[in-house]
């Protein structure tokens, strides 16, 4: 019998999504053990990346979320040391994490995304915001959010200029790049991608103001998960096709998740996540389960799909 591979699960790290990554990583380690893989836990917060190659792993399972782990930086390092890894490669990770870059690509390829403008630190001023809102014909409510963050951290929905400036003043202290975009009412729909195939769409009905950090990760917030999403068959097929197209445009690999708003029969793509959560409340595993792909099968598929030159 062929010897089972040793899988190094990289988790935790330094980003604001560290806690979620620890949960994602632990769920995947449990699954890998059940699949009889040997596992090594590696947290860049406590071990230097220069140690990674010496651990004797055959494959790196990337369970990081957010800055450093989802934005192409660590992916470049995996390529550099020549160890096969899961999920998307450097360029695609960078493009997907950077909302400004990915939205530009969506627009260019006729994928609807909320109308928006992007501000760099050098343009951080109330006057410029006022001018850009007008120039881009944005209408309140307006969402202001970091250009490259995750887990809804820093997402603010603003009803007027006053509240927009208050949110902006908070965000400018922590982020160098911001996105201002039209708030899209309607439904929250997310699609799971497994390689080139979009396998299903789930609908989220948060009990909170929106699908924020608590609504995503706290069971007590009681967000309703509706699988499959309550939309017509025709629209269901359409949102899967848009997701496959977005995945292809960004040249994603492995699993990914596309986040949409659905309003007046139209889908607006908010973003593509190249390191989607794999916690017990996470959506890709839930969608996979509905398609009769168990968590173990999903994790095993990810390991088998790992490679270099992603």
Ligand X SMILES: Nc1ncnc2c1ncn2[C@@H]1O[C@H](COP(=O)(O)OP(=O)(O)OP(=O)(O)O)[C@@H](O)[C@H]1O
Residue 274 within binding range of ligand X, rule CB under 6 A: no
DSSP strand pairing (6-10 vs 38-42): parallel
Residue 138 within binding range of ligand X, rule CB under 6 A: no
DSSP strand pairing (255-263 vs 187-194): antiparallel
Residue 149 within binding range of ligand X, rule CB under 6 A: yes
Cα 190 from Cα 184, distance rounded (Å): 15
Least distance between ligand X and beta carbon 34 (Å)? 27
The token pair at 288 is: 């996979």
Strands (E), the chain: 6-10, 38-42, 59-62, 116-120, 142-146, 156-158, 177-182, 187-194, 197-205, 224-226, 255-263, 266-273
Cα 21 from Cα 27, distance rounded (Å): 10
Residue 261 within binding range of ligand X, rule CB under 6 A: yes
For ligand X, the closer of residues 40 and 227 by Cβ is: 227
- 103 makes contact, choosing from Mg ion, ligand X, none, with CB < 5 to 8 Å by partner type, with none
Least distance between Mg ion and beta carbon 187 (Å)? 14
Which positions are annotated as active-site residues? Answer: 17, 151, 217, 257, 259, 271, 273, 277
Beta-bridge partner residues of 158: 142
Point out which span in 55-63, 72-80, 141-149, 278-286 binds ligand X (CB under 6 A).
Answer: 141-149
Neighbours of 253 (CB within 10 A): 24
- Please pick, from the candidates 114, 200, 254, 285, the single residue that binds ligand X as defined by CB under 6 A: 114
- Please pick, from the candidates 259, 261, 267, 302, the single residue that binds Mg ion as defined by CB under 5 A: 259
Closest CA to 11 of 145, 55, 20, 149: 20
- Please pick, from the candidates 42, 180, 211, 267, the single residue that binds ligand X as defined by CB under 6 A: 211
Binding mask 180-199 for ligand X (x = CB under 6 A): -x-xx---x-----------
Closest CA to 71 of 150, 8, 133, 4: 150
Residues that bind Mg ion (CB under 5 A): 259
Residues that bind ligand X (CB under 6 A): 114, 143, 145, 149-153, 155, 181, 183-184, 188, 210-211, 259, 261, 270-271, 273
């Amino acid at each position: 019998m062929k010897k089972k591979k040793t899988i190094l699960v990289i988790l935790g790290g330094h980003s604001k999504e560290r806690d979620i990554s620890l949960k994602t990583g632990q769920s995947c380690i449990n699954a890998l053990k059940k699949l009889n893989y040997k596992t090594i836990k590696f947290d860049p917060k406590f071990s230097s990346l220069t140690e990674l190659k010496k651990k004797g792993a055959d494959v790196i399972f990337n369970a990081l979320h957010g800055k450093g782990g989802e934005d192409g930086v660590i992916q470049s390092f995996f390529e550099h040391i020549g160890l096969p890894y899961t999920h998307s490669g450097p360029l695609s990770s960078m493009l997907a994490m950077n909302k400004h870059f990915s939205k530009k690509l969506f627009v260019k390829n006729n994928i609807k995304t909320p109308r928006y403008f992007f501000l760099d630190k050098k343009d951080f001023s109330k006057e410029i915001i006022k001018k850009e809102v007008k120039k881009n014909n944005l209408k309140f409510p307006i969402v202001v959010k970091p250009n490259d963050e995750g887990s809804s951290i820093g997402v603010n929905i603003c009803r007027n200029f006053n509240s927009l400036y208050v949110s902006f003043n908070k965000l400018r202290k922590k982020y160098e790049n911001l996105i201002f975009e039209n708030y899209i009412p309607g439904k929250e729909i997310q699609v799971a991608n497994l390689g080139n195939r979009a396998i299903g769409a789930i609908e989220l009905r948060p009990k909170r103001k929106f699908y924020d950090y608590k609504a995503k990760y706290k069971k007590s917030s009681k967000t309703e998960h509706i699988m499959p999403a309550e939309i017509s068959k025709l629209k269901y097929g359409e949102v899967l096709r848009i997701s496959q197209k977005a995945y292809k445009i960004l040249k994603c690999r492995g699993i990914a998740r596309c986040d949409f708003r659905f309003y007046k029969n139209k889908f607006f793509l908010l973003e593509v996540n190249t390191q989607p959560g794999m916690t017990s409340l996470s959506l890709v595993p839930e969608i996979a389960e509905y398609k009769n792909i168990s968590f173990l099968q999903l994790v095993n598929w990810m390991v088998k799909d790992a490679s270099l030159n992603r």
